[in-house]
Amino acid sequence: MKVYSPDDKVKITLKVNGNVHEVEVEPRKLLVHVLRDLGYKSVRVGCDTSHCGACTVIMNGRSVKSCTVLAVEADGAEILTLEGLAKDGKLHPLQEAFWENHALQCGYCTSGMILQAYWLLKENPNPTEEEIREGISGNLCRCTGYQNIVAAIKAASQKMRNG
């Protein structure tokens, strides 16, 4: 394992939503901060305890809390943030379902919640309510009471299965 000193600058490459970025980072810098510095402001910091999930992104096909990943660990990774979910100006079915089911209020948790749901539906395209609740249990929402979020994910799973 490589040992860095705090003053080192390390060149890393990230592919975010299909865009390749080469950046120099301090070895202690967290992925969430690098993504925000690159302009991906949907990736949010909501805590300093790794509990809230507001920083959730998809990294190499898996959901991760980007506040728990050092940017140097993500070197060469493919990352999806909420900015990359809509295609050709059309919202992703999960985004539509969150809108239609009033699954947000302040919206602070929403990008992380949607990406966690995106990963959940990739793993399990037809989850039960219980599986949805378990799947998003690492993402906190202080506003909605979760009921409409669960309904939105259920609706999106149906939409996605019907193509």
Per CB under 6 A, residues contacting ligand FES are 45-47, 50-55, 65, 67, 104-110, 141-144
Read off the tokens for 139: 């993402």
A 10 A CB-CB count for 75 gives 14
In angstroms, give the least distance from the CB of 90 to ligand FES: 23
Measured from the CB atom, the residue of 27 and 107 that comes closer to ligand FES is 107
Task: Choose between 61 and 145: whose C-beta lies nearer to ligand FES.
Answer: 145
Q: State how far the Cα of 77 lies from the Cα of 99, in Å rounded to an integer.
A: 30
Closest contact distance (angstroms) between CB of 5 and ligand FES is 26
Which of 126, 133 has the CB closer to ligand FES?
A: 133
CB of 76 to ligand FES, least distance (A): 22
**Taking the C-alpha atoms of 84, 121, 105 and 91 in order, what is their torsion angle to the nearest 10 degrees?**
40
> Cβ(20)–Cβ(76) under 8 Å?
no
Nearest in space to 42 (alpha carbons), one of 115, 92, 105, 100: 115
CB of 22 to ligand FES, least distance (A): 25
